[in-house]
Amino acid sequence: MKNTIKNYLQKFYIALILLFLYAPIAILMVLSFNESKSRSKWGGFTLKWYIELFQNREIMNALYTTLIIAFLSALIATIIGTAASIGINRMKIVPKTTILSITNIPMLNADIVTAISLMLLFVAMRFTLGFRTVLISHITFNIPYVVLSVMPKLKQLNINTYEAALDLGAKPVYAFYKVVFPEIFPGVLSGFLLSFTMSLDDFVITHFTKGISVDTLSTKIYSEVRKGIKPEMYALSTLMFVAVLILLTLVNYSKNKGKK
Amino acid sequence: MKTRKWLAYPYLVWMVGFIVVPLILIVYYGLTSAGGGITLDNIALISKPINRGALWLSLELSFISTIVCLVLAYPLALILRNLKIKSSSFVVLVFILPMWMNSLLRTLAWQNILENTGILNQILSFFNLPTLSIINTPSAIMIGMVYNFLPFMILPIYNSLVKISDDIVNAAKDLGANNFQTFIRVIWPLSFPGVVSGVIMVFVPSLTTFAISDILGGSKVLLIGNVIEQQFKIVNNWHTGSGLSLVLMVFILISMAILAKYDKNENKAGGQII
């Protein structure tokens, strides 16, 4: 008896936290079907925001910029970060720990400080703030996530297999692709995905480094907060959320199936 | 094989150019005046009542939200651990998934909940309870902080708890420890590294946010993040902004140093227990 009550309470607590985390998402989804433009009034069910969304050039532009920056910054960060991890892994202990602690700075430091420091640099170098500066900033804060994901895989790596490949006559590059790369690939992939997510969700660093000509979804939403969010934005975020949900369910499902 | 180091060189150039030099620039701007002379005036501006008030409120709110997050997250992580869910990646997924909806929009949804005629008050008045006016107060900002950063507290604690083997817990019980003693002497010390990273991951972004206070504070409540943002984006006084950022960085460094020290002590204690 005592155990069932305890069990029930525990389930209830989990449900409560999940409600806390997911209630705002449910609200945004409901708002995307709201006929009324007002955030606080229900004006009946409609699908019109989903149609108007695709005709709204500003939002579509912001979406395009967001996705292209997320993809490019994640890709470049993954390449630089993976190469760096392999190099750092070969270094002696002192330079290694020094470099790794500097690498952690953008991850541990406050976003606003990172953002300001980059903005000061771009202005000092006379870079015009725009797409390029946002991309550089995103690569900068993404690299630590790649290094963080790849380093543990490199540490697990058995160096002998690589040397065996060399002894058997493989060229270093060939041996790397055949022996080392498959081993560290899961780390590389999760570094890429983590970077992509971080870039997609970033607001603060983009806000300071974007100048006036470029907008991502985050900065667009921020500029609309005062004058009222366009309902198309709710429709877009609902679509994105559902897309990710479906994608992740499929990945999880196929993984579980593969195990059986 | 030995000379693979060159692979790190492109990154080293990037690291110096985009991490080290920008930080030096903040220090430079923070310690100079617009005329070019070295000065401490920018840093001294923190003692202006409005700035000092903002910093104090930020410290207070981020401290409270960190505690609230810890109190909410630890029991949850413990329950989740004891459920023995087979794929821990599923648990991680459930708590990361909300982040795929834009965080500014999700924070905005809290306006709907907390407004004077919002969802929370409608529920309260349905049950004939007194309504609350939370929106545009520091409490609303605190709720926004807890909401935004709670997953960052849950995940590291959960990760450190699932790593604790049942054998260790059972050994403690076999040796006569009751549940409370097992928790205090075994589970808590072993999960402490997770708690430390959770605390840092909640405290630092809460201390420095300006978007949450903008959205839920209705520009009536100023945090230190808002003050700095305005210096750069509205007032355009980069020297003052950098000076105040330096003060902020000092607080971040102090909190990390304190936690790092605790972490080391606890690790030693943890080593003795096993």
**At B3, is the pLDDT very low, low, confident or very high (cuts 50, 70, 90)?**
low
B272, pLDDT greater than 50? no
A169, pLDDT greater than 90? no
Contacts of A83 in chain B (CB under 8 A): 7-8, 10-11
| Predicted local distance difference test score (pLDDT) of residue B244 | 94
Cβ-defined contact of A13 to B90 (cutoff 8 Å):
no
Q: Hey, what domains does chain B have and what are their CATH numbers?
A: 57-235+266-273 (1.10.3720.10)
| Predicted local distance difference test score (pLDDT) of residue A76 | 97
Residue A39 lies in a domain: no
What interface predicted TM-score (ipTM) does this complex get? 0.87
Enumerate residues 6+ apart whose C-beta is below 8 A from A217. A59, A62, A63, A66, A233, A236, B102
pLDDT 10s digits, A177-234? 888 889 899 999 999 998 998 999 899 999 999 988 899 999 999 998 878 888 999 9
Tell me the shortest Cα–Cα distance from A140 to chain B, in angstroms.
Answer: 7
**A213 phi/psi in degrees, rounded to 5:** -85, -25
pLDDT 10s digits, B115-158? 888 888 888 988 988 888 888 999 999 999 999 999 999 999 99
**At A28, is the pLDDT very low, low, confident or very high (cuts 50, 70, 90)?**
very high
Cβ-defined contact of B1 to A163 (cutoff 8 Å):
yes
Average of per-residue pLDDT across B169-198: 90
Question: Considering only alpha carbons, which residue of chain A is nearest residue B147?
Answer: A21
**Mean pLDDT of chain B, nearest integer:** 88
Q: Is A196 on the interface with B (CB under 8 A)?
A: no
Could you report how far apart the first and last alpha carbons of chain A are, in Å? 36
Q: List the single residue in A86, A118, A225 with the smallest CB-CB distance to B22.
A: A118
Contact predicate B117/B162, CB 8 Å? no
**CATH number for the domain that contains residue A212:** 1.10.3720.10
Sign of the dihedral defined by the CA atoms of residues A110, A111, A115, A118, in that order: positive
Tell me the shortest Cα–Cα distance from B34 to chain A, in angstroms.
Answer: 14
Report B:207-266 residues touching A (Cβ under 8 A).
Answer: 207-208, 210-211, 214-215, 225, 228-229, 232-233, 238, 241-242, 245, 248-249, 252, 256
Residue A44 lies in a domain: no
Cβ-defined contact of B99 to A225 (cutoff 8 Å):
no
Residue A80 lies in a domain: yes
pLDDT 10s digits, A134-163? 999 999 999 999 999 999 898 888 878 888
| Predicted local distance difference test score (pLDDT) of residue B266 | 52
The Cα B71–Cα B154 span in angstroms is 10
Closest CA to B208 of B57, B49, B106, B107: B57
* Torsion angle, alpha carbons of B178, B180, B186, B188, to 10: 170
Q: Is A20 on the interface with B (CB under 8 A)?
A: yes
Cβ-defined contact of B20 to A102 (cutoff 8 Å):
yes
| Cα separation values, B66 from A64, B69, B256, B266, Å | 36, 5, 14, 20
Q: Note the residue count of chain B.
A: 274
The Cα A25–Cα A56 span in angstroms is 23
**Mean pLDDT of chain A, nearest integer:** 90
Q: Note the residue count of chain A.
A: 260
Q: How many domains does chain A have?
A: 1
Cβ-defined contact of A87 to B9 (cutoff 8 Å):
yes
Q: How would DSSP label each residue in A109-126?
A: S-HHHHHHHHHHHHHHTT
Q: Which amino acid is at A31?
A: L
Enumerate residues 6+ apart whose C-beta is below 8 A from B265. none
The Cα A67–Cα A28 span in angstroms is 21
Pick the residue with more confidence: A256 or B10?
B10
pLDDT 10s digits, B13-43? 999 999 999 999 999 999 998 887 888 888 9
Residue A252 lies in a domain: no
A112, pLDDT greater than 80? yes
Q: List the single residue in B87, B100, B232 with the smallest CB-CB distance to A241.
A: B100
Question: Considering only alpha carbons, which residue of chain B is nearest residue A225?
Answer: B215
Enumerate residues 6+ apart whose C-beta is below 8 A from B91. B80, B85, B158
Q: Residue for token digits 């909410």?
A: B72
Residue A41 lies in a domain: no
| Burial bucket for residue B177 (CB in 10 Å: 0-12, 13-18, 19+) | middle
**At A1, is the pLDDT very low, low, confident or very high (cuts 50, 70, 90)?**
low
Residue A222 lies in a domain: yes
Contacts of A248 in chain B (CB under 8 A): 93, 97
Contacts of B241 in chain A (CB under 8 A): 116
Residue A14 lies in a domain: no
Q: Which structural domain range is residue A122 located in?
A: 59-229
Cβ-defined contact of A116 to B245 (cutoff 8 Å):
yes
Q: Where are the alpha helices (DSSP H) in chain B?
A: 9-15, 21-30, 41-44, 49-83, 88-96, 103-114, 119-126, 138-162, 166-174, 179-182, 188-208, 211-216, 224-233, 238-273
Tell me the shortest Cα–Cα distance from A249 to chain B, in angstroms.
Answer: 10
- Angle between helix axes B49-83 and B224-233 (nearest 10 degrees) is 120
Cβ-defined contact of B93 to A197 (cutoff 8 Å):
no
HSE of A147, CA atoms in CB hemisphere, 13 A: 28
Average of per-residue pLDDT across B241-269: 79
